[in-house]
Structures are given as structure tokens and as C-alpha cells.
Structure 1
């Protein structure tokens, strides 16, 4: 048996709250530091922050839901469960009130549903013009 003289550990840490992101970053280093001190080992710690949580704002979310409910072709409007996926749109929402929404483009009559970024991921392309109508209606009926 040969024991390696070094190791590289990688992972992903996600949270819904910005304050938790700070705690996670700090606590991971504390654990690494403690383990290395116990075993007289050295470490290099690099924490690269990924996307923040997507946090929709209530007023724009209500607005787009109302528009969607009035748009021809939309069959259902519902609030999605909170999810841990990473999305760069989160950065916009940190600066401008807005909402991120799904278009409901699951393939018709398909029992094989794959997540986004999977090589077999597919969409029902009929949903795209409906989503475009929702966005166009939102722009055309917007008055601040």
C-alpha cells in the first residue's frame, strides 16, 4: 500500500441565504485547518463562490403570473418550489427587482424526462412561442 503525500478535495456548497454562504465558506476552512493541525499537515484553501440564490421579488412575480394567466396558450401558472440550481440571472435580481420563471416546456407524452444540461434533455418547442407571448404581453401592458 502506498499512501499519497497529497490530496485535492473539491465540492460545491449552496445556500439560499447570503449570510449562510459566508458561514459555509468560513466553516469549511476551519474543518480543513483542524484536520490538518491534528495530522501535522499543510493545506491550501481556495473557495470559489458560484452563483447566488435566485430570489424573485414579490411584485414582479405577481405581475408576470397575472400576465401569464391572461395569455392564450398558457394552461397553468404555479409557483415553483425553491431549488438549489445555479443560475446567473440571480446576479440581475441582486440589482433590479424581477422574477425568474419557467416556461413549462416538458416534452408531450414523454416518460423519459431529463434535467437541463443532460445530453438527452429535450423540450416541447411549442412552448417557446407561448413564452414569447407572455414576455411580449408583459412589456406591452407594463406601466410603472
Structure 2
């Protein structure tokens, strides 16, 4: 009975820590293992070797460190895109301010305003884009 309770608690803790990445890794691992069982029953050593290599690759890519590194890389790319969009917006806003201060014609100012509006929209999209 104590063993059953211990196993149940361990399973609860492992489920609580599961993430979409680990779930995907587990599903892929199970799929490969099923395919390996079929290949083993057929005595298809070539397919078995290919599947074993794929399983080894999956196991290497699905370590907690590898998953954390992918998340960190995705966050860095996301933040870089936001920073680039902010820099572009600042540059266009500065050009618009210069054109307005200089007394440039309204067509030119309207063109700079369109660029500023596009840059704001690009920044909004970069911020809203999910981290992948």
C-alpha cells in the first residue's frame, strides 16, 4: 500500500512539472519506441538502426538543459526583434521631428508620418508575437 501511494505521488509530481515541450518529447519518444518494436518484430535491422539514431537524437534534444536553452534562445530572438522595432520607430520619429522643425512641405511630413505609423505597427506586432 505504501508503495502504491509513493508511486502515485511521484506520478503527480512529474505531471505537475510537465510542459508542452516535455509532453511533445515524450509523445515522440513513445512513437519511436512503438516503431522500433514493429521493426524488431520484422527483424528489420536497417530501420531499427535509423529509429535508434532518431531516438538518441530526441533524447539529446529533450534534456532539461536543451529545452531551457531553446526557450532562452527564443526569448532572446523575441527581445531582439522588439529592440530592433523600437530603434526603427525612434529613428523615424526623429526624422519626422526634424522635418516638422525644418518646415518641410506637408507631403514630405505625411510620408514621414506614414513611416512612423508603420514602425509603431511593427513594434506592436513584435511585442504581440508569441515567443517561439
Q: TM-score higher than 0.5 here?
A: no
Q: Whose helix fraction is larger, Structure 1's or Structure 2's? A: 2
Normalised by the size of structure 2, how large is the TM-score?
A: 0.28
Larger Rg: 2
